[in-house]
Amino acid sequence: MRLRGLLTLAVAFAAALLPGATRAHSGDATGFASLAVSGATVSYVYTPAGKSTDDPATLPALLREQIIVETDGKRCAPQPGDSLSLRFDCSQPVSRLTIQDHLPAVLGDTHHVIALLTWDGGSLSHAFSAAQPTLEADLRHQGTPNGAGSFFVLGIEHIATGYDHLLFVLALVLCGGNLLQLLKIVTAFTLAHSITLGAAAFDLVTLPSMLVEAVIALSIAYVAFENLVPRFAVSRRWTISFAFGLVHGFGFSSVLKEIGLPKDSELLALLNFNLGVEAGQIVAVAIVVPLLIRVRRQSWGMRAIRWTSAAVLVTGLALFVERVI
């Protein structure tokens, strides 16, 4: 009974998150920011993600008011402007930099921004949110290896907040299967999205973002539908995982295309980002699979899995409609 209560709580919590997932672009971020340091100047370029709910008319003023840049404890002055590209004058060469993002206080706690800070000799990524509003960097001691390494954390953050990617993985493993079959499913997804992630990050292949996001939503619905129709064999699920994984790779690349890769360590940064995505994915599978094994042993287990698959199917279709419209 305790397990059933835990499952009920988990489903209720997931249901509370679903409306936000259907509104978010890939569930990844409400915006991206590229920051660059040059001498005594810090530039800040904000890009809303997809169909952002942020008011474009008020955003420039909000950015100037809520984005605070300091160096060595002294506040840098935002320069006049009316666009989403800001420039902060620090009046002295930037060494120890602090950036604060207080936009969640105005736009809501769900507002978060994936940012990349670059300077001569290094780069650093950070996800601004209500829980993590501050980025601190010592530009004198953080060089390129640390900058490229920060993309590992960015990859973890990307998959952890990517509701659609996590829903797809959940739909894949809901069907069950032995350890070898699950390994083939997860490996196929990993190989596929790694291929297209690299190709898209280096602009070797480009697809319209609306098409990619719509197909990702459709992939969630399709795999959930398969879970409800017994004739689809688990043994062939790896082929579906690979095919749709190619599309998910383009979705993973969206954050890299928005904030860019550090020019002096592109390959290393891309590798670290992909490894971060894989680490987050492995953690998600490691949490879900043991719970599913325990659920299947219960008398009500298969009904719970079918109801969960139905909920994922409806969510996938809702995401598809939202992204197409």
Summarize pLDDT for 242-254 with one digit per residue, the tens. Answer: 999 999 999 888 7
Q: Are 46 and 84 in contact (CB under 8 A)?
A: yes
DSSP states of 187-253: HHHHHHHHHHHHHHHTTSS---HHHHHHHHHHHHHHHHHHHH-TTS-GGGHHHHHHHHHHHHHHHHH
**Strands 96-101 vs 85-89: parallel, antiparallel or unpaired:** unpaired
Higher pLDDT, 103 or 219: 219
The 10s digit of each residue's pLDDT in 194-217 is: 999 999 888 888 888 889 989 999
- Asked if the model's pLDDT at residue 284 lies above 80, the reply is yes
Which residue's entry shows tokens 């940064």?
269
- Asked if the model's pLDDT at residue 1 lies above 50, the reply is no
Q: Where does the chain have alpha helices with state H?
A: 2-23, 59-66, 104-107, 144-160, 163-174, 179-201, 209-228, 237-259, 266-296, 301-324
Q: Looking at this protein, which amino acid is placed at residue 260? A: G
- Asked if the model's pLDDT at residue 58 lies above 70, the reply is yes
Closest CA to 308 of 186, 175, 203: 175
Domains of the chain with CATH codes: 2-27+162-324 (1.20.1250), 31-142 (2.60.40)
Q: Are 44 and 35 in contact (CB under 8 A)?
A: yes
Which residue's entry shows tokens 């209500």?
130
Q: Phi and psi dihedrals of 254, rounded to 5?
A: -60, -40
Q: What confidence category does residue 22 fall into, taking pLDDT thresholds of 50, 70 and 90?
A: very low
Burial of residue 26, with CB atoms counted within 10 A of its CB: 0-12 exposed, 13-18 middle, 19 or more buried: buried
Q: What is the gyration radius of the CA atoms in the chain, in angstroms?
A: 21
Average pLDDT value for residue range 116-138: 83
* 3-state SS assignment for residue 104: helix
- Asked if the model's pLDDT at residue 16 lies above 80, the reply is no
pTM over 0.85: no
Q: Where does 161-178 have alpha helices with state H?
A: 163-174
- Asked if the model's pLDDT at residue 2 lies above 50, the reply is no
d(CA 231, CA 250) in angstroms, rounded, equals 30
Average model confidence (pLDDT) across the chain: 80
